[in-house]
């Protein structure tokens, strides 16, 4: 379990968008889910040599939104009750309930699902007024949904995961009244024998806003590295996160806010 944490400026000069996350945890494995959730923003976890915070990790591209999402994730992993739920679910081989902190809850969703985490909701609601509405008194219903075009990447043998991710994104957009439409620019089910260059050509042949890699494997790693190097917006949902509702809200929030700042 993560016990305490603190985010500080990077000790390396000249890197304004880099932060260092200091943590105290029962075991380094307890920090792993944070790294998995923010692949591309979280570096290698290492021992800091500090008694108060034995572990540390660098945060890259540390925008206010990313920092809010990371702290929200840590709050979930700092709750003993939540951690026990996760361990029991892993042992059963599936997630039977969402990991929601018991100390910070909003009013229940009308959908009947467990409420989402306050840090993410609060940040999204504050920013949505500027990104979605544009004017204080303008209703989202008065404005045609803005299109965000997505290239989906998924292993050929797992099309059911692609369908599940798309359904989950669309469901949350409807539940939360988000005035954006995540439209597929392309759905690429890559073969095990397919070369990285061929996959990259399929991606770049589309007009898109970001790439979403679903259940990435070793084969797709070179493609993801190239996408990052070329400064494309890349998001990842690992297979063990497919059923976690708040992962989708984090993703949607980050994409919508990034899109609105352009």
In degrees and rounded to multiples of 5, residue 115 shows phi and psi of -65, 155
Q: Which residues contact 203 (CB under 8 A, 6 or more apart)?
A: 151, 153, 186, 188, 211, 223, 227
Instruction: Quote the CA–CA distance of 55 and 49 in Å, as a whole number.
Output: 8
Residue 39 is predicted with a pLDDT of: 65
Q: Which residues on adjacent β-strands are paired with residue 226?
A: none
C-beta of residue 215 within 8 angstroms of C-beta of residue 152: no
From the number of C-beta atoms within 10 Å of its C-beta (0-12, 13-18, 19+), residue 17 rates as: exposed
pLDDT at residue 201 greater than cutoff 50:
yes
Q: Please report which confidence band the pLDDT of residue 50 belongs to, taking 50, 70 and 90 as the band edges.
A: confident
Choose which CATH entry (3.30.70, 3.30.2010, 3.30.420, 1.10.357) describes domain 2-78. 3.30.70
Residue 170 tokens, joined: 């669309």
The pTM of the full predicted model, rounded to 2 decimals, is 0.49
Residue 85 is predicted with a pLDDT of: 52
Instruction: Quote the CA–CA distance of 26 and 30 in Å, as a whole number.
Output: 7
User: Would residue 259 be called left, alpha or beta, if left means φ above 0 and alpha means ψ between -120 and 50 degrees?
Assistant: alpha
pLDDT at residue 200 greater than cutoff 80:
yes
Instruction: Quote the CA–CA distance of 115 and 77 in Å, as a whole number.
Output: 16
Residue 150 is predicted with a pLDDT of: 93
CA proximity to 102, closest of 90, 114, 88: 114
Q: Which residues contact 247 (CB under 8 A, 6 or more apart)?
A: 37, 237, 241
pLDDT in tens, 5-38: 888 887 665 666 788 889 888 888 888 888 777 7
Beta strands in 127-239 (DSSP E): 146-155, 180-190, 210-214, 234-237
Cα dist from 77 to 24, 175, 182, whole Å: 12, 25, 29
pLDDT in tens, 208-252: 999 999 999 888 999 999 999 999 999 999 888 888 888 888 888
Residue 242 is predicted with a pLDDT of: 87
Number of helices (H), then strands (E), in the chain: 8, 8
Residue 67 is predicted with a pLDDT of: 84
Of 124 and 174, more confident = 174
Query: How many alpha carbons lie under 13 Å from residue 7 in its C-beta half-sphere?
Result: 18
Domain residue ranges of the chain, discontinuous segments joined by +? 2-78, 118-260
118-260, CATH topology level:
Rossmann fold (3.40.50)
């Amino acid at each position: 379990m993560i016990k305490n944490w603190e985010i500080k400026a990077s000790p390396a000069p000249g890197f304004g968008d880099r932060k260092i996350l200091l943590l105290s945890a029962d075991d380094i494995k307890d920090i792993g889910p944070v790294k998995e959730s923010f692949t591309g923003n979280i570096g290698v976890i290492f021992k800091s040599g500090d008694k108060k915070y034995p572990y540390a990790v660098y945060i890259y591209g540390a925008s206010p939104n990313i920092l809010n999402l990371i702290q929200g994730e840590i709050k979930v992993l700092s709750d003993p009750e939540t951690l026990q739920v996760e361990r029991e679910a892993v042992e059963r081989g599936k997630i039977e309930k969402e990991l929601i902190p018991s100390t910070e809850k909003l009013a229940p969703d009308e959908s009947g699902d467990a409420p989402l985490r306050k840090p993410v909701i609060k940040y999204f609601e504050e920013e949505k007024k500027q990104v979605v509405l544009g004017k204080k008194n303008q209703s989202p219903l008065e404005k045609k949904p803005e299109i965000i075009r997505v290239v989906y990447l998924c292993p050929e043998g797992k099309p059911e995961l692609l369908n599940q991710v798309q359904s989950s994104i669309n469901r949350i957009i409807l539940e939360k009244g988000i005035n954006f439409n995540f439209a597929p620019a392309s759905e690429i089910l890559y073969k095990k024998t397919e070369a990285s260059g061929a996959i990259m050509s399929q991606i770049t042949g589309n007009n898109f806003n970001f790439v979403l890699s679903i259940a990435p494997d070793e084969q797709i790693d070179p493609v993801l590295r190239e996408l990052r190097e070329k400064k494309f917006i890349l998001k990842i949902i690992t297979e063990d996160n497919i059923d976690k509702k708040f992962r989708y809200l984090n993703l949607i929030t980050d994409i919508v806010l990034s899109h609105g700042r352009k």
